[in-house]
Amino acid sequence: MNLTEAKGLDGLLFKLLGSVGGPRVTRIARLLMVTNRADVRAHLEELAALPGLTCLVPSHGEIVDQDPAAVLRRVATALGS
């Protein structure tokens, strides 16, 4: 997810769900989809190490085309283990 902001009622809902604020694995995704944080973190770090990585295309939000490897590493670190 890469929503920097959202407005109105939708924005409030996204904020309450922890879905805004830039690239991240959201709270709801961690709760419902991530069963092993260490595995997801390792996978994100593996993706960050891909040679020639030029952009990230998230399912929601803006495309990341500025230093996508650093963004993936930051998201991996924030995910914890």
Cβ atoms of 29 and 14 within 8 Å: the answer is no
> 27: helix, coil or strand?
helix
Tens of pLDDT, residue by residue, the chain (81 residues): 899 887 899 888 888 888 899 999 988 889 899 999 999 999 999 999 999 999 999 988 999 999 999 999 999 999 876
Tally of structural domains, the chain: 1
> 22: helix, coil or strand?
strand
Q: What's the pLDDT score for residue 81?
A: 62
Q: What's the pLDDT score for residue 67?
A: 97
Residue 16, domain extent: 2-79
Q: What's the pLDDT score for residue 52?
A: 95
Which pTM was predicted? 0.86
CA 67 to chain centre: 14
